[in-house]
Amino acid sequence: MNIKRNDMVKVIAGKDRGKQGKVIRAMPKKMRVLVEGVNMVKRHVKARAKNQKGGIIDKEMPIHVSNVQKITATE
């Protein structure tokens, strides 16, 4: 896997095709990357403490490394 954290990537397959973002986290054993603003899903969160609110939040989910392409500075 040649994609590392803080690399700029472009999604080349899936529902977010064409989007670009920075890699937040790379998971080489699972062959997945977490890209900023890509593959957003809604999660229902329960309030755990009195000062923490529950609700529906948007969060990024990992995407397979074969669905992203590294962007060089010249592109």
The pLDDT tens digits for 5-18 are 999 999 999 999 99
What is the count of structural domains for the chain? 1
Task: Compute the distance between CA of residue 18 and CA of residue 55 in angstroms, rounded to an integer.
Answer: 30
Q: Domain of 23: which CATH number?
A: 2.30.30.30
| Residue 16 belongs to some domain of the structure | yes
Whether the predicted model's global pTM rises above the 0.85 cut = no
Predicted pLDDT of residue 74? 60
Residue 28, helix vs strand vs coil: coil
Predicted pLDDT of residue 17? 95
* Sequence-ordered strand ranges (E) for the chain: 8-11, 20-27, 32-35, 40-45, 55-60, 63-64, 68-70
Predicted pLDDT of residue 52? 86
The stretch 52-74 carries a mean pLDDT of 91
pLDDT tier at 73, thresholds 50, 70, 90 = low
| Residue 19 belongs to some domain of the structure | yes
| Residue 75 belongs to some domain of the structure | no
Chain-centroid distance, C-alpha 49: 28
- Domain region containing 17: 8-70
| Residue 61 belongs to some domain of the structure | yes
DSSP state of 25: E
